[in-house]
Amino acid sequence: MSSSAGPRTASPTASCSICGGDRVLNPRLTLIYEDSAARATLSGGNWAQGSLRLANVQTPYFAEVARSASTQAADTQFTVDFGVYTAIAGIALGGCQVTSVARYRVRAFYDDASSVVVYDSGLQDFPSTRVDQELLDWEDPGFWEGRSRDFDDRRKGALLLHIPPAPVLARVWRIEIIDPSNPTGFIDIGRLIMGRLWQPDINFTYDGNSLDFEALTDVEESRSGVKFFNARNLRRSFSFGFDTLSEQAAMREIYRIVTTSGVHNQVVVIPDPTDADNVQRDVFIGTIGTLPSLRRSAFHRVATSFKINEAL
């Protein structure tokens, strides 16, 4: 079954399993695409001006971060006003420099931030911060709370990922980040995407997918053979393909993804929405590196493949 943004609205109290709630998601690959946040008006909270302004989260460059004035909850929130009623099916906020005990809350309002609430996620843990205590040693700082000590890649920051139970039709959203014990005294956030969601009728093939890493570190070698390294982030890429997608869904959904995203507009790739433990490892914001071709593999069935490259 293919899912995309539509006229449905979610229950105000519904929550998302990938973010620690009660909803059971389907394990099929999911893409968030057609970002609407880039054209919205952002306000609220208390964010730095100039090169660290809040509007930086609307650019595709993760190095352009927004920085809060403090770690107080009143400062580390912001409002997204689309100006018109917009259906949002998935939300991603990348490059969040938060601790493993950070939490967040997402709310949607019908008209403005003081009007009727049409969706409320409630307080949620950042994905992948809750772990099985059996996987931790008793001396680990998070053993008693069942929390991971830290995110795997502090240079990139954490990813806030939230998928409401159904697309939410609203004009205004508020995103709150709660991390008052952050030792830096502020919170940086890097890239906001709020858009449509696609999930295929069948999952990708298991013999042709891969999560790959590209080393971007600069390496120089002296005449004596000594190597010098200028460390840079690793770039992830995820390759996946389908053998027998529904022809109708493929021609409608994949055609739209390709024409609206191209190789320049960013998407969010989620290999398995039910795998909350690995959100910070295999879910990322990126661009389509290899545009798919649509090949009719059987009657009313289409084969295709993708490669998504991480945006840094």
**What pLDDT, on a 0 to 100 scale, did the predictor assign at position 2?**
41
Q: pLDDT digit string (tens) for 3-26?
A: 443 333 443 433 344 544 444 568
- Mean pLDDT computed over every residue of the chain: 87
Alpha helices in the chain (DSSP H): 247-249, 255-261, 279-282
Confidence of residue 118 (pLDDT cuts 50, 70, 90): very high
**What pLDDT, on a 0 to 100 scale, did the predictor assign at position 289?**
94
Beta-bridge partner residues of 303:
295
Q: pLDDT digit string (tens) for 133-189?
A: 666 666 665 666 656 556 777 788 999 999 999 999 999 999 999 999 999 999 999
| Cα dihedral 231→235→236→240 (10° resolution) | -150
User: Which domains can be identified in the chain, with CATH numbers?
Assistant: 17-26+33-198 (2.60.120.260), 210-310 (no CATH)
Over range 79-94, report the average pLDDT. 96
Amino acid identity of residue 274, one-letter, is: T
Over range 229-240, report the average pLDDT. 92
Over range 65-85, report the average pLDDT. 97
**What pLDDT, on a 0 to 100 scale, did the predictor assign at position 67?**
98
Over range 183-205, report the average pLDDT. 95
Tokens in use for 294?
Answer: 């649509």
pTM of the model: 0.86
Q: How far apart are CA 175 and CA 76, in angstroms?
A: 9
Q: How far apart are CA 2 and CA 199, in angstroms?
A: 5
- Taken as a whole, the chain contains a residue count of 312
Q: What angle do CA 21, 58, 153 make, to 5 degrees?
A: 60
**What pLDDT, on a 0 to 100 scale, did the predictor assign at position 124?**
93
Asked whether 36 and 270 are in contact (CB, 8 A), the reply is: no
Over range 110-133, report the average pLDDT. 82
Over range 270-279, report the average pLDDT. 89
